[in-house]
Chains A and B, each alone.
Chain A
């Protein structure tokens, strides 16, 4: 089975800090995604990547950037964390058969 691992389950950061959320998948998938989930809003796509060093903006990229230096790793970066970025962040990878999600990182910005 494909495994998508997010390095932290819970994270608390201060306003203005630079935050890295890491995601690693172990099945050589080309495509990787970052979503955030907020109550009543479902999952919204932040960024995605179809290959190493490639990135595409999703629906809500403002305040975020990403890095894909290796195929298996897709990092989400909050350059200067703000309280409105407090959320659950979910990473996913996919190939022909479907999508696999990590267990999520619950980020609180104080």
Chain B
């Protein structure tokens, strides 16, 4: 069965610092998708990225970047120059058999 480990339960950083959220997953599939979602205090889940396991290139979107290492089954997420609005719970979620399984999430506090 799938398993997702987000080892950091809670992180606090000062605004403008960089922060990396770790994600390690297990899957029996050779082809799969990986997702990251953000859940701000308002509660809705906001889609951040979907990555195919074939594509091992790192992805950058503004202040966000993702490092996918298939060999170590990791899909880490970095926020550069963090802002208070980045405060949220972040979920890593691999997809297998057309359903996504969520990690327990990392609660990120950005301190002004």
Contacts and interface: CB of A to CB of B under 8 A. Distances in A.
In terms of DSSP, what is the predominant structure of the interface of chain B? loop
A98 B100 CA distance: 10
Contacts of B44: 101, 103-104
Interface string A66-110: 000000000000000000000010101010011111011000000
Contact of B99 (A40, A45, A97): A45
B19 interface: no
B101 A45 contact: yes
Contacts of B25: none
Chain A interface residue number, banded: 20 to 34
A50 B97 CA distance: 11
A88 to B, nearest CB: 7
A92 B9 CA distance: 24
Given A48-B99, A88-B43, A98 B105 contact: no
B104 A98 contact: no
Contacts of A40: 9, 104
Which 10 A-B pairs have CB atoms at the shortest separation, nearest pair first? A42-B104, A43-B102, A101-B45, A42-B102, A42-B105, A98-B50, A103-B44, A48-B99, A104-B43, A42-B103
